[in-house]
Amino acid sequence: MNAQLHTTPSHDYKVADISLADWGRKEIDIAEHEMPGLMAIRRKYAPQAPLKGVRVTGSLHMTIQTAVLIETLKDLGADVRWASCNIFSTQDHAAAAIAASGTPVFAWKGETLEEYWDCTLAALSFPDGKGGFLGPQLVVDDGGDVTLLIHKGYALEQGDDSWVNSPSASHEEQVIKALLKRTLKERPGFWTKVVADWKGVSEETTTGVHRLYQLAEAGKLLVPAINVNDSVTKSKFDNLYGCRESLADGLKRAMDVMLAGKVAVVCGYGDVGKGSAHSLRAYGCRVIVTEIDPICALQAAMEGFEVTTVEDTLGIADIYVTATGNKDIITLEHMQAMKDQAIVCNIGHFDNEIQVDRLKASGAVCTNIKPQVDKYTFPDGHAIFLLAEGRLVNLGCATGHPSFVMSNSFSNQTLAQIDLWANRDRYQPKVYLLPKKLDEEVARLHLEKIGVKLTQLTPAQADYLGVPVDGPFKPEHYRY
Amino acid sequence: MNAQLHTTPSHDYKVADISLADWGRKEIDIAEHEMPGLMAIRRKYAPQAPLKGVRVTGSLHMTIQTAVLIETLKDLGADVRWASCNIFSTQDHAAAAIAASGTPVFAWKGETLEEYWDCTLAALSFPDGKGGFLGPQLVVDDGGDVTLLIHKGYALEQGDDSWVNSPSASHEEQVIKALLKRTLKERPGFWTKVVADWKGVSEETTTGVHRLYQLAEAGKLLVPAINVNDSVTKSKFDNLYGCRESLADGLKRAMDVMLAGKVAVVCGYGDVGKGSAHSLRAYGCRVIVTEIDPICALQAAMEGFEVTTVEDTLGIADIYVTATGNKDIITLEHMQAMKDQAIVCNIGHFDNEIQVDRLKASGAVCTNIKPQVDKYTFPDGHAIFLLAEGRLVNLGCATGHPSFVMSNSFSNQTLAQIDLWANRDRYQPKVYLLPKKLDEEVARLHLEKIGVKLTQLTPAQADYLGVPVDGPFKPEHYRY
Amino acid sequence: MNAQLHTTPSHDYKVADISLADWGRKEIDIAEHEMPGLMAIRRKYAPQAPLKGVRVTGSLHMTIQTAVLIETLKDLGADVRWASCNIFSTQDHAAAAIAASGTPVFAWKGETLEEYWDCTLAALSFPDGKGGFLGPQLVVDDGGDVTLLIHKGYALEQGDDSWVNSPSASHEEQVIKALLKRTLKERPGFWTKVVADWKGVSEETTTGVHRLYQLAEAGKLLVPAINVNDSVTKSKFDNLYGCRESLADGLKRAMDVMLAGKVAVVCGYGDVGKGSAHSLRAYGCRVIVTEIDPICALQAAMEGFEVTTVEDTLGIADIYVTATGNKDIITLEHMQAMKDQAIVCNIGHFDNEIQVDRLKASGAVCTNIKPQVDKYTFPDGHAIFLLAEGRLVNLGCATGHPSFVMSNSFSNQTLAQIDLWANRDRYQPKVYLLPKKLDEEVARLHLEKIGVKLTQLTPAQADYLGVPVDGPFKPEHYRY
Amino acid sequence: MNAQLHTTPSHDYKVADISLADWGRKEIDIAEHEMPGLMAIRRKYAPQAPLKGVRVTGSLHMTIQTAVLIETLKDLGADVRWASCNIFSTQDHAAAAIAASGTPVFAWKGETLEEYWDCTLAALSFPDGKGGFLGPQLVVDDGGDVTLLIHKGYALEQGDDSWVNSPSASHEEQVIKALLKRTLKERPGFWTKVVADWKGVSEETTTGVHRLYQLAEAGKLLVPAINVNDSVTKSKFDNLYGCRESLADGLKRAMDVMLAGKVAVVCGYGDVGKGSAHSLRAYGCRVIVTEIDPICALQAAMEGFEVTTVEDTLGIADIYVTATGNKDIITLEHMQAMKDQAIVCNIGHFDNEIQVDRLKASGAVCTNIKPQVDKYTFPDGHAIFLLAEGRLVNLGCATGHPSFVMSNSFSNQTLAQIDLWANRDRYQPKVYLLPKKLDEEVARLHLEKIGVKLTQLTPAQADYLGVPVDGPFKPEHYRY
């Protein structure tokens, strides 16, 4: 990777190829038309500049859509630094356009793990004008890597070195620990200073939210957190409809494979799995679902999917998609027993849904077909294809979710950032959901673009239902 | 209606035709195979008889499926009396079979409103052996009519006669008030005695639950209530998958109409509306959705449905289905402007979703085609068809939801009844949801029947997720 | 069956209950609105009376839709006599309305085989005013029973008694032979006279058409035949979209069974099978297809259906639907090995798709649940449900295809009848298809009703395509 | 374009970048696994070398799948030269791999029209070893360009110069005429010699076939032609299921646009339109269909699509897809009236389905976003996106149909080539369909790969149906 870290005031970014900026800008222009929620928020809030001067660090796939989010935050007054949250998910022309516009961004497609965490650190390091660094006041997180790094760094500086000195479960853990040891030496007291200024985080994903709840339950969460993932207009749109569009996109760009007639296994039938399974069926796949949760399993059955275990599909299925948020879903032994030329990919969260490390160490011969497409041939001669090295296939092999659905998610992110800052004195170090009224507002901002005409409650009807004429309309436990 | 009220010990029931009992029994036998949840609960709990001697009043569509619920409650030891909760929803052979087996039941298809409320009262009246009546200790409610009656009767006996003497918004309200005035005279102190013994209610529907929350918020709820409707295995199954099957069934049995090629308007895109809209689309209808809630509207749009107002569809649409739980959705003016031969029906809750009363009083000529199918011809010559007089079309024109999905709902009802009784000393007069663990259990009881094979978490995976190996698996706010 | 044969001039019909005529008439009125093709043909042709005085015998399911066909033929001037072509498919109120209007009809739901063939003979017997009978000049056939009877009767009168004296493969064959022997005695020379006047037949079904081609190839076809089944607006609409609506209707009315989550096997993936499989999947069934034809099998696979043999599904599947036009698809051995409570039905053509005769003789105990629903319990205790005794489930258990799609089929029938008569001197005893121009015309007649707006070719575009501006648009081999 | 024409014996090819050959070869290896039909044909026929030494010219999109076809023809003994049939459809790594293997190929992505026709001529020019050129003995054609060129060249040499001297309707016509005039001068007698050796052509597309039938009707067809397009395993698979997969692929790679919630107009509801419409609906588009043929229009309506004119959708629709095979479907006036940011593309056949020439000359400002994606901004400020300059969007913006479905089409092509050669003495200069037996064989060759298990007819069943036990199973007019 020939990307170079520039931290002089004039070139505070690290991207693959700054000459892609023009192309990136053209696509950002197109995306703005598809992101009516963010554009409406700009129109409504920019005049007041509610994030004026606030230092915001983002760790979120550096795509065209994210570029529109970044520029929305800047329009609201924020001082933004950005990194990607996945080594393969950056769109280099998007990163170039953001860099060219003067926003510090540290992201390119195909980072090493060492580079990835260095980028994360760079996004956290706001020059203080005196040769040192300040941390962010707000964090936009996706998967919780920034939150993790700050918490671990802070713990280390507080004298708790148990984690950094414990045996590492993965190569990535080693990398993080090495980074923390280095910052401890190079920037003593840095993490403590970061925590002092940090007012809150809004988190995008199921996985990251899960980590936050665990921290909160353990009493270790350092700042208020807004769970953006569980806004209806996020989890029921981005996770479901986003994946319904982007899974097949990733498979097609990677493999150009005919989906009709294939047997596809979708592991997990949450929102991501639902979107994935329905997309594959619509293409003419025979879809088999695996589940641990009896309710989700029953839902899959009611939709006509066969529900069984991965083991029962070996030798039969052509395509495997993990969508669980859990680990070790596709094991090395599974891959060894799959049909020749089976395709294996992940759209859940981390690459550990598939035992990639064990596969690499297994003696299977790896042939790279093209970027993000590897063929592993086992000693017995049969082979499988692993996409995006087990990381998110829609981001690694295609361009992630399309703009319109991300406009929903990112409108929630932006409203969360505004609220975290405006009410920074009132929030506690807990995990919050956005109020339903805002959730409905995000939806409302997207209706006109697609020609939806809402019906208006009469006062008599609102009274009959016992809800305000303009909402919110549903009880908190409503599931949509 | 030649049904006759029998209250001698030997004939404590009122059904349309007791000779249908054999046929009903054959269909109950079939239904038992389709209701694995209830049958599993019988096997597990009957030996302990957890409802031994408990007086249970049920007000719930007297169908074949309900017969299996009734006999499950009896197997658990309960002393059961039953009425239907809808004047058209009784399956007469089901009622006959239950009556023939010795359970007091008061229900037939096509009751008048007066008969309906008399039946409800009869189901509430357990002979005390001394010529008087005891009330139920537990209530199984659907739509909240029993709960309403007891609360209103109790208020009246406590001296609050404001409601019974207020002007009535509908004929049905008049009937209820007359009944209460009569019982005040004939059975003085009855409602107060009922309340004294009453330990709780489990409620089946969105509408009934909504009423309960309103009562609770107003501090007027007299007993603990379990909101069965919002168990995932109820609202996301019965409401969604049940309606997906039973709406078309009602339309077909009523009208034998070709659905392909028709324009159908579904008012409301909650769970019931979702099931309805998807069913009609699968038949080849062009489906248009109306919504007040921007989130649900956006969901409909993401599924490819046109979303607009009823007004915009007049003259174009062939079929109207209300699924809102609200009132005045299809007004008289709408019906006057519809395409000739348009079909209008309701699968939401009450018949006031359609302005039936205004239609009847409008001067349109009503021709009865067959039971539950009326043609209204307007002075200008064009006509519409109204199904089931605006009441639930799936129950009025077909046989309601199929057994398998009702087994989910009724398993929740049964577990709620058991829990209300077992913990009657701990519950407060509030509205409760069943714990997620029980919700998952209900799903689990239905998997084997349809051949679903669950995947089992390993301890390492459970630890990674931070959930128990056997669940519950999801946070409370999870939406499925 | 209390239906009685009336052949005095004043009561020349035999139906179940003439008092159902009013109800039948109301439903015929509704159906007319749903059958725009037939109504347009009436408007266009009735003034010329192209079938004035022509004796037409129809053998086609005596439903509400057929009533509209019959009255269309009468409007065109024909002298019509009618029988059903299936012992269970008559709608008694439709037959009553037709009888009441003065058209001789011989049909009721639940005929014995003897009654069925007597009805067919009655429909063939036009009183000659001198105590004898004339045969039809034109025949509308469905399944080819009338055509068969005339051909067999004629052969017998010509001295070929080989068939009537051969061993019978089924009870039905015995019945036919007995009838022929009887007419030989009672009406000597009748069949020869029938053939002399007979000018042609139009045939509705795949099965009947297949028989006609076999007769033609063998040089034994006595009259010109128009293959209506293979008009696009018949086979691709009635067979496909009709079954997509009526299969589930039959299953629901018979069994009230939840389809979601069930495993359903559809035997045959022709047009009928395609409609059936797609309908069941839309309900949430997991559908498995069986096929003998590799092309149809590949189509099923491309649509995501598992394709395997019946044997591989035994013990797994809940529902079996035959749609092949072939025999012995579901054997006794299959039924003996099915899952307990499996449902077996046929939507293909004859009841011999399922080995009903062998089942009845097998020692399984038959319990009738309600009309058309029989439970067969095998000695080992497990049971299956057989619907409509193996005859067409949509006609036996529901009301057949809806009006709109039948309007397409019957418009083809009517145009065929008109053409057969108008050009009776030019037709040869061969099997003909209707010209594509008429096929397109039939479609065109149905568009306005459902709001379809066609695009019109410009002359330049028509020239570019090399087709007339108003069609026909496609080459003969085009498959739609 | 830096591609260079090499015609020395050692480098008889012209491709974009020969260094892409390795990548191309890896993808060819993958494709072979997905093209079981072609591989089976290789195994079965290669030993006899039925095309030994036969000169074959192909004009067909130079993709990875076509590479497998080319190598199959070579395995059968043929001497092959190839060009693409579309200026944008070449996959450069596929062309490179074919060139590297020694097969003369003349194709790259993004040819000018002049280059395109030069490539076609190069593919027709087999060096005769004496500095001159021989023509092909067989032609594989897609769209009929090779057939057109030979017919026009031959006519010119026969003295008929009316066409080459007539005014040209398009720039492309000018290019062809210039080429013919040049060859007349440079290679006198060439076309006459080509025709003398030419034994037949197999044609792939609806459009090309249509041209052939027109030639045959006019008595001008010079050689036997096999209509491969209308093999069931071609038109009902490639056109339908291929487009169902590749349309969205093209849209996604070009625009990364969210399809859910958009209004999409599909012009034409033939096989290509059917696949397109169903794909878009499955993504959550609201799909509107336009049609000229009442039968296809009625089919669209039965599937729940709104059917209206392009005019009625202007200002409402977001995406336009032409799939007609006709011209001037989307006019300049349409584009001027479309919604801002509407996307316009073609998956039918030629770019004249959209008035691209008029658009370019209209004064709208063209901004190239990336290859194959152009934004045209009209004077009033609103803009549209035109994909692949109006040529096939699935080939221009993605990689065309996936391998598996092309294996069906190309198996038909290969069997046609074998048959044309083997029976070259018996064929007449007419248009032929492949016999149904071969059609079924092609399907059969693809079943095992996707796990389909066929049912086998018993002799008794075959006898009952009157078909051979092993097929063919259906009459010629059967539509599948």
Q: Tell whether B459 lies on the interface with A, counting CB pairs under 8 A.
A: no
pLDDT at C3: 44
Select from A272, A293, A309 the residue whose CB has the most chain B CBs within 10 Å, as the one to mutate to test that interface: A293
Q: Kindly state the average pLDDT of the residues B327-355.
A: 97
**Contact C328/D458, CB-based, under 8 Å?**
yes
Please name the residues in contact with B179: beta carbons below 8 A apart, sequence gap of 6 or more: B117, B118, B121, B149
pLDDT digits (tens, 9 = 90+) for C64-101: 999 999 999 999 999 999 999 999 999 999 999 999 99
D413 is catalytic: yes
Do B45 and B191 have their domain in common?
yes
| CA–CA gap between residue A334 and residue C289 (Å, rounded) | 29
Listed by number, the residues of chain A in 312-371 with a beta carbon closer than 8 Å to a beta carbon of chain D are 316, 340-341, 367, 369-370
**C101 among known catalytic residues:** no
* Spatial separation of the C-alpha atoms in residues D364 and D340, rounded to whole Å: 13
D261 in contact with A, Cβ within 8 Å: yes
**Is 90 exceeded by the pLDDT of residue B218?**
yes
Residue B326 covered by a domain: yes
Residues of chain A found within 8 Å of residue B453, distances taken between Cβ atoms: 307-309, 312
User: Looking at the structure, do residues D415 and D357 belong to the same domain, yes or no?
Assistant: no
Instruction: Compute how many other C-beta atoms are within 10 angstroms of the C-beta atom of residue C220.
Output: 12
Q: Look at residue B2 and tell me whether its pLDDT is greater than 90.
A: no
For every one of its 480 residues, what pLDDT tens digit does chain D have, with 9 covering 90 and above? 344 444 555 579 999 999 999 999 999 999 999 999 999 999 999 999 999 999 999 999 999 999 999 999 999 999 999 999 999 999 999 999 999 999 999 999 999 999 999 999 999 999 999 999 999 999 999 999 999 999 999 999 999 999 999 999 889 999 999 999 999 999 999 999 999 999 999 999 988 999 999 999 999 999 999 999 999 999 999 999 999 999 999 999 999 999 999 999 999 999 999 999 999 999 999 999 999 999 999 999 999 999 999 999 999 999 999 999 999 999 999 999 999 999 999 999 889 999 999 999 999 999 999 999 999 999 999 999 999 999 999 999 999 999 999 999 999 999 999 999 999 999 999 999 999 999 999 999 999 999 999 999 999 999 999 999 999 999 999 999
Instruction: Say if A29 is an interface residue toward chain D (CB within 8 Å).
Output: no
- Is the minimum CB–CB distance between D286 and chain B shorter than 8 Å? yes
3-class SS of residue B354: strand
Instruction: Give the other-Cβ count within 10 Å of A165's Cβ.
Output: 9
Q: Number of structural domains, chain A?
A: 2
B171 is in an annotated binding site: no
Task: Using a CB–CB cutoff of 8 Å, tell me whether D213 touches chain C.
Answer: yes
CB D345, CB D387: distance < 8 Å: yes
Tell me: pLDDT of B290 over 50. Answer: yes
Q: Cβ distance A263 to C308 under 8 Å?
A: no
Closest residue on chain A to C316 (Cα):
A306
Name, in order, each residue with C-beta under 8 angstroms of B460's C-beta and a sequence gap of 6 or more. A327, A328
pLDDT at A306: 98
Predicted local distance difference test score (pLDDT) of residue B128: 95
Residue D2 lies in a domain: no
How many CB atoms within 10 Å of residue D377?
14
**D308 in contact with chain B, both atoms CB, cutoff 8 A:** no
Structural domain harbouring A416: 18-233+401-438
pLDDT confidence of residue A11: 76
Three-state secondary structure of chain A: CCCCCECCHHHCEECCCHHHHHHHHHHHHHHHHHCHHHHHHHHHHHHHCCCCCCEEEEECCCCHHHHHHHHHHHHCCCEEEEECCCCCCCCHHHHHHHHHCCCCEECCCCCCHHHHHHHHHHHHCEECCCCCEECCCEEEECCCHHHHHHHHHHHHHCCCCCCCCCCCCCHHHHHHHHHHHHHHHHCCCHHHHHHHHCCEEEECCHHHHHHHHHHHHCCCCCCCEEECCCCHHHHHHHHHHHHHHHHHHHHHHHHCCCCCCCEEEEECCCHHHHHHHHHHHHCCCEEEEECCCHHHHHHHHHCCCEECCCHHHCCCCCEEEECCCCCCCECHHHHHCCCCCEEEEECCCCHHHECHHHHHCCCCEEEEEECCEEEEECCCCCEEEEEHHHCEHHHHCCCCCCHHHHHHHHHHHHHHHHHHHHCCCCCCCCEEECCHHHHHHHHHHHHHHHCCCCCCCCHHHHHHHCCCCCCCCCCCCCCC
pLDDT of residue B10: 59
Together in a domain, D23 and D148: yes
* pLDDT at residue B11, as a whole number: 76
In a shared domain, residues D382 and D423: no
Low-confidence ranges of chain A (pLDDT < 70): 1-10
Same domain, A88 and A206: yes
* Domain end marker among D364, D397, D430: D397
Judge whether A229 counts as a catalytic residue: yes
Give long-range contacts, CB 8 A cutoff, 24+ apart: B36-39: B36/B407, B36/B445, B36/B446, B36/B448, B36/B449, B37/B407, B37/B408, B37/B410, B37/B411, B37/B442, B37/B445, B37/B446, B38/B68, B38/B69, B38/B72, B38/B407, B38/B410, B38/B411, B38/B414
Same domain, residue pair C28 and C125: yes
Instruction: Count each helix (H run) and each strand (E run) in chain D, helices first.
Output: 19, 19
D13 touching chain B per CB within 8 A: no
ipTM for the whole predicted complex goes beyond 0.90: yes
Distance CA B7, CA B126 (A): 11
In this structure, which amino acid lies at residue D452?
V
Question: What are D6-44's pLDDT values in tens digits?
Answer: 455 557 999 999 999 999 999 999 999 999 999 999 999
- Binding positions of D for NAD(+): 205-207, 239, 268-275, 291, 326, 347-349, 394, 401
Q: Is residue B89 part of a domain?
A: yes
pLDDT digits (tens, 9 = 90+) for B43-71: 999 999 999 999 999 999 999 999 999 99
Q: Which DSSP category does D424 fall into?
A: T
In a domain, C265, yes or no: yes
* B208 marked ligand binding residue: no
Q: Is residue C280 part of a domain?
A: yes
CATH number for the domain spanning A217: value is 3.40.50.1480
pLDDT digits (tens, 9 = 90+) for D218-253: 999 999 999 999 999 999 999 999 999 999 999 999
DSSP 8-state class, residue D57: E
Catalytic residue among B59, B125, B407, B409: B409
pLDDT tens digit sequence for B414-470: 999 999 999 999 999 999 999 999 999 999 999 999 999 999 999 999 999 999 999
Provide φ and ψ at D249, rounded to 5°: -60, -45
CATH of the domain at C305: 3.40.50.720
Report the 3 state secondary structure along D370-414: ECCEEEEECCCCCEEEEEHHHCEHHHHCCCCCCHHHHHHHHHHHH
Considering the domain architecture, whether residues C309 and C356 belong to the same structural domain is answered as yes
Cα–Cα separations (whole angstroms), residue B165 to B154, B156, B159, B184: 15, 10, 12, 13
Catalytic residue selected from B59, B403, B413, B417: B413
Q: B201 vs chain D: nearest CA distance in angstroms?
A: 41
Same domain membership, residue B389 and residue B252: yes
CA pair distance C351, C342, nearest whole angstrom: 18
SS3 B95: helix
Q: Is position B368 annotated in a ligand binding site?
A: no
**pLDDT tens digit sequence for C304-354:** 999 999 999 999 999 999 999 999 999 999 999 999 999 999 999 889 999
- Pick from D284, D340, D404: which is nearest to A258 by CB? D404
Mean confidence (pLDDT) of chain B: 96
Say which residue the tokens 């919630």 belong to: D261
Q: Do residue A279 and residue D282 have CB atoms under 8 angstroms apart?
A: yes
Mean per-residue pLDDT for B196-217? 95
> Is B205 inside a domain boundary?
yes
Note the pLDDT of residue B170. 87
Contact D450 C235 (CB under 8 A): no
Residue among B23, B260, B398 minimizing CB distance to C370? B23
Query: Which of the four pLDDT bands, split at 50, 70 and 90, describes residue B1?
Result: very low
Cα four-point dihedral sign A250, A251, A254, A256 = negative
A238 given a catalytic annotation: yes
Whether residue C102 is annotated as binding a ligand: the answer is no
Residue tagged active-site, from D59, D65, D84, D235: D84
**Same domain membership, residue D406 and residue D393:** no
Kindly give, in sequence order, each residue whose CB lies less than 8 Å from that of residue C424, ignoring residues fewer than 6 positions away: C199, C200, C224
Please state the pTM of the whole predicted model: 0.95
SS3 B30: helix
* Helix residue ranges, H only, D325-379: 332-336, 356-360
Same domain, residue pair C209 and C69: yes
Considering the domain architecture, whether residues D386 and D423 belong to the same structural domain is answered as: no
Q: Tell me: do A284 and A338 sit in the same domain.
A: yes
C85 SS3 class: coil
Does the distance separating the beta carbons of C30 and B341 come in below 8 Å?
Answer: yes
Q: What is the DSSP letter of C88?
A: T
Tell me how far apart the alpha carbons of residues D276 and D303 are, in angstroms, rounded to a whole number: 13
For residues B305, B308, B311, B317, the Cα torsion angle rounded to the nearest 10 degrees is: -10
Instruction: Quote the minimal CA–CA distance from D465 to chain B in Å.
Output: 32
Closest Cα of chain A to D367: distance in Å? 9
The total of other beta-carbon atoms located within 10 Å of residue C217's CB is 11
Q: Where among A346, A364, A397 does a domain terminate?
A: A397
Contact C369 B245 (CB under 8 A): no
CA dihedral over A289, A293, A298, A299, signed as positive or negative: negative
Task: Check: CB of residue C225 under 8 Å from CB of residue C200.
Answer: yes
- Is there a domain that residue C471 lies in? no
Residue A168 annotated as catalytic: no
Do A282 and D284 make contact, defined as CB atoms within 8 angstroms?
no
On whether the CB atoms of residues B251 and B259 are closer than 8 A, the answer is yes
Whether B383 is covered by a domain: the verdict is: yes
B261 touching D (Cβ < 8 Å): yes
Cα B261 from Cα D289, distance rounded (Å): 13
pLDDT reported for residue D169: 86
B409 is catalytic: yes
pLDDT tier for residue B3 given thresholds of 50, 70 and 90: very low
Residues 36-75 of B with CB under 8 A from C: 64
pLDDT in tens, B434-446: 999 999 999 999 9
